[in-house]
Structure 1
């Protein structure tokens, strides 16, 4: 279950997010400053590279501990930046005021929130099983 949770998390942040952001709303957005675009592309490359490392650790090295920590950090970083958005003037809304939501919740918060909680659960369960063995 832990390998599947890690793989799902990696799919979200290393594949789905770049698909959603390499377009005119993000990377090729003419309203974004070139400096912002650099940070966006850097984040996409960095997170996708971390995802590849996580999959290699899980499926080749059979190391779920470091992978789960890395996945939790990437998703937690997004959730923290969302939680602090008022502090630095961030928003998940597009310039036209629209926002991608599901069940009234921003899709990034929903997807990463579920995956983050799942990672915490499988990591906690895994650690408790080791301690009780």
Structure 2
């Protein structure tokens, strides 16, 4: 989402920004797109949930750190030369990142539960496979023992 919002004259193509500031903007957008692609790959092709959610949460936390410490480095949430958008009376970045962060925290909790369930399921499957194999081996040995006439009945 930030790529669409930042690829315009208010951000990356803003003539009032220095060339170095635009460089950092382009670098950030490329990095964010790369992390998003890796996260999609992990979710769709590797069936991994926890790592992509954690990466998203790191991205969101970065926004909040930049917002909180903006006054210390002369940063601002909104460029005075750009457009200010609001949603329900709240600055759009604050609103969207608040929703994004809450959803990611909930997803992290679900991913942790899925991970624990998956881990428990894998351990249970290994346990059952070992005991099923032992039962088959034990039954085969007992049947062989009976057919050799060692056990009556």
Normalised to the residue count of structure 1, the TM-score between the two structures is 0.79
**Partner secondary structure for residue 84 of structure 1:** helix
Cross-structure match for 2:15: 30
Structure 2: where are the runs of 5+ without partners? Answer: 121-153
Q: What CA distance in whole angstroms lies between the structure 1 residues aligned with 2:12 and 2:82?
A: 18
Q: What CA distance in whole angstroms lies between the structure 1 residues aligned with 2:25 and 2:61?
A: 17
Cross-structure match for 1:89: 74
Q: How does 1:1-133 map to 2 (within 5 A)?
A: 16-96=1-81, 98-128=83-113, 130=116
**Partner secondary structure for residue 63 of structure 2:** helix
Structure 1: where are the runs of 5+ without partners? Answer: 1-15
Instruction: Tell me which of the two structures has the higher relative contact order, counting C-alpha pairs closer than 8 angstroms and 6 or more residues apart.
Output: 1
Supply the RMSD in Å over aligned alpha carbons.
1.8
Post-superposition Cα deviations, 1:73-126, rounded to whole Å, max 9, x if no partner, equal 111111211121111111122324752221222211211221111111121234
Q: What CA distance in whole angstroms lies between the structure 2 residues aligned with 1:108 and 1:41?
A: 18
Normalised to the residue count of structure 2, the TM-score between the two structures is 0.69
Check the 8 A contact 2:35/2:55 in 1, yes or no: yes
Q: Which has the larger radius of gyration?
A: 2
